[in-house]
Chains A and B, each alone.
Chain A
Amino acid sequence: MNPSNGQDRLFNRLLAGAFVLTLGFGLLIAHYYTDLGNRPVATGMSGAGTGGQGPGSDTAGQEAATSAETPGTTGGQATTTAAAGAKAGTTKTTTKAGAAASSAGVSRGSIKVGGIFTETGPFDARPADQSVRAYFQMINAEGGVNGRTLEYISYDDGFDPTQGQNAARRLVEQDKVFAIVGWLAPNSEPAASEYFAKIGIPVIGGLAVPQEFGPRNFFATMANLGKAGAGVARFLCEGGVKKPAIGVVNLPFSTQMIASVKKGLAQCGITPVTADAIDSTEAGWDAKILDWRRKGADSIGVALDPMSYVRLFQALAKQGWHPPTWTVGAADTERNAYVKGALEGVINVESQLVPAVHMNLPGPRRYVETLHKYYPGVTIASDAEISWTAAQVFVEALRRVGPDLTREKLIDTLETFREFKTDVSAPITYLPGDHDAVRCIELLQWKNGGWTDVYPDFQCWDYTPDGGAVKRPSKPFG
């Protein structure tokens, strides 16, 4: 036999086998994902769906608490506690299964909490992950909450909706966390929200994507991104823009963001010259700016990722165009240092207090000091503060519930929050049927090498029935 022919045959067989295996696994995965939506949810969850066995109901008790970190999360370990052995549920019957799911993750000595963050790709949400961890470590150092310490498990979604859904299922079904606290995964939150809504697990935090404002178990700590554009647009109107060019980072909910901005601008008779979703990897900012100028834009309003802001401002400086520019979430001092010459006059909108401007206030100071205590050198980023606020809200809710802790009680308690003061956000109010808690922003302007407040307090708004917005009384910082 010619060895070459024999080798070729072997190669062909291996290739065919690999193809069949891939096809088979692919079909299995497709079947699994489509079946996921039809799985019954746990009983006993308020507003969470119909009865049936919960997904984690066939597993008894609590194992020794451990934490799992994905590669790429740096700078610290989740708090590890030893479970005291209290069992969360032991049988497979329907009612006991519901009870097991309702207090999953809760043992006599600890509460297991989960989070999902984009730490690979165009966003780097590790500071957000570390913010939650730092807060929990601070609380644990003070003795925990109602005699229980907090244990945190987080995963990286890799900016991939599929990975985000996998992480969501893993947290609920494998790690059996009690709640999701602090969630910053822009590309996977919409998809994973559907799963969390079906399960009924409390979710505190998140990027406030539109999908997080329907189900009762979601409690965002910033304004609904699908509607907040109308509120922000009020301030663009007051800023005197006439023909803005609008750009929003391309995410699953970008269309809704753009629509809300247009609605808000329409209230003051303004139509943007252009309104686009822009990829975070967009390299052609020169062409985009030329296009905006050609269309007669007299101002720019953008909500982008941090590195896109760097490229935008570099392109603006290069082309010698300095129109009034409004940004959302651009107060990233580390990256601003790279383009500071081009930032003069830029007005920036933030949902949380910028620590660099407010270190005189106890809340931002505590945030920075605690974060740097546990994670020295970590970047201070405004999107990370959202997660700090989420952790703070969660801990307060735990305190109010008391030792007899279930998911339903946590959700009920969160809906009693009225003007709850946090370290870095405007006061939070969750109403039954309305968890859009924080319709307030901080407005800053870059002047002489740094950010300064345009107003001395949070600027707030309410929504009108047609999706627009009207201003309401402001709220003090701190």
Chain B
Amino acid sequence: MDLGFYLSLSIVGVVNGAMYALGAMGIVLIYKTTRVLNFAFGAIGMISTFVAYQIANLWHINVVVATLGAVVSGALLGLAIERFTIRPLEGKPPLVKVVVTLGWLLILTSLVGIVWGASAYHLPIKLVPEGTVRFPGVAIDYAELIDLVVAVMLTVGLAVFFKATRLGIAMRAVADDVATARILGIRVNRVNAAAWAMGSVLAAIAGVLLSQKGKVPLDTYSLTLIVIFSFAAALYGGLVNLPKAFGAAIVLGVLQAVTPSLPGIKDLHIMGLPDLLALGVILFALLMPRSALVQAVAKEGA
């Protein structure tokens, strides 16, 4: 067995997993506060990235300005979604809110298709300078390294945020018990709005970073659907545990990179193997009795 080859693949897998971790952080952030599983997360990232594309590639304005435009548009979109379609559903079953996010997914993908075209022929913006870093047997782009660094920073930063900041603690309080949080003087609507805005900003950042160099095609469905892998990772963390979600994302990335080349599997030419592996992670999270998801659900039901 060529261990050097699999080490190289593992390194590739780690950077791929960092992509998923970027998305998982945003999903966890929104769910941890509002208990809404936001299926439109990828679509928010996608449309924000297209805003950056419009500014940088079509209007030829500075790429940093374009990225800021993506962040601002993501935040505004998140605020709008929360204010006009989620907040009115307070008290309704969570499934209703999930369906609303699915509706937003459809709306946003259709909107992008109408405005910019629904094909995959959109060249990404160039935010990160060209260049590579060599590891044993493999080279990694600066863009991919930045993905990994940002994912690690987000994991740590969000963990600290929830534990040590007033807003973070308020978010946890709202997630635990909305009525009590209100009684304690926490402005629940503002906290939820902040969660959605922050989550959508993370979606925008993830979208811009992931579309660097065309790694994830800039079209109406690739960025929207890559969130499925992020969901798998977030589910493994029970939708509330950031370090577990990060770890699951990395493991999934490594599995997707290494598994197709394993003896016995490589000759099968299994199409859609990355998707199958993500499904496996989801099933594992759902079925294993000691998984974070099962424990989180049990805690909520108690």
Contact = CB atoms under 8 A, between A and B. Distances in A.
Given A283-B16, A307-B214, A318-B139, A120 B118 contact: yes
B46 to A, nearest CB: 14
Interface residues of A, number: 36
A283 B132 CA distance: 18
Interface string A290-311: 1100100000000001110011
Nearest to A280: B120
Name, among A122, A124, A307, the residue most crowded by chain B CB atoms within 10 Å (CB to CB).
A307
B72 to A, nearest CB: 27
A319 interface: yes
Interface string B232-270: 000000000000000000000000110011000010010
A320 B138 CA distance: 9
Interface in B151-182: none
B263 to A, nearest CB: 13
B12 A124 contact: no
A287 interface: yes
A290 B216 contact: no
A290 B118 contact: no
Contact of A284 (B2, B5, B16, B117): B16
Interface in B1-59: 2, 5, 8-9, 12-13, 16
Contacts of A310: 123, 214
Given A287-B257, A320-B139, A72 B271 contact: no
Contacts of A294: 2, 5
Contacts of B274: 284
A277 interface: yes
Contacts of B123: 310, 335, 338
B113 A72 contact: yes
A192 to B, nearest CB: 20
A91 interface: no
A307 B271 contact: no
A72 B115 CA distance: 9
Interface string A358-388: 0000000000000000000001000000000
A318 B214 CA distance: 13
B114 interface: yes
A284 B214 contact: no
Q: Is the interface of B mostly helix, strand, loop or mixed?
A: mixed
Nearest to B266: A291
A290 B5 CA distance: 8
Nearest to A379: B121
A105 B215 CA distance: 46
A121 interface: yes
Contacts of B5: 290, 294
Contacts of B217: 122, 281, 307
A422 interface: no
Interface residues of B, number: 38
Contacts of A290: 5, 8-9, 12, 137-138
Contacts of A305: 120
Contacts of A121: 118-120, 219, 221
B12 A286 contact: yes
B291 interface: no
A338 B130 CA distance: 12
B132 A318 contact: yes
Nearest to B225: A281
A338 B214 CA distance: 10
Interface string B98-115: 000000000000000110
A71 B113 contact: yes
Kindly name the residue among A124, A290, A379 whose own CB sees the greatest number of chain B CB atoms within 10 A. A290
A261 to B, nearest CB: 16
A287 B262 CA distance: 12
B214 A71 contact: no
A294 B2 CA distance: 9
B120 A74 contact: no
A108 B113 CA distance: 39
A103 interface: no
A250 B270 CA distance: 12
Given A276-B269, A286-B138, A290-B5, A122 B12 contact: no
Contacts of B132: 318, 320
A415 interface: no
B257 A284 contact: yes
A96 B137 CA distance: 72
Nearest to B13: A287
Contacts of A277: 269, 271
A310 B217 CA distance: 10
B213 interface: yes
Contacts of B113: 71-72, 120
A124 B113 CA distance: 12
Contacts of B137: 290
A119 interface: yes
Given A123-B120, A281-B217, A250 B256 contact: no
Interface of A: 71-72, 74, 119-124, 126, 158, 250, 276-277, 279-281, 283-284, 286-287, 290-291, 294, 305-307, 310-311, 314, 318-320, 335, 338, 379
25 contacts: A72-B113, A72-B117, A119-B117, A119-B119, A121-B119, A122-B217, A123-B119, A123-B120, A124-B117, A124-B119, A158-B118, A280-B120, A284-B257, A286-B12, A287-B260, A287-B261, A290-B9, A290-B12, A290-B138, A294-B5, A307-B121, A310-B214, A314-B213, A318-B139, A338-B123
Ranked 4 nearest A-B pairs via Cβ: A124-B119, A120-B118, A124-B121, A122-B120
Given A281-B217, A290-B138, A318-B140, 10 more contacts: A72-B117, A119-B117, A120-B119, A123-B120, A280-B120, A287-B13, A290-B137, A307-B217, A319-B139, A338-B214
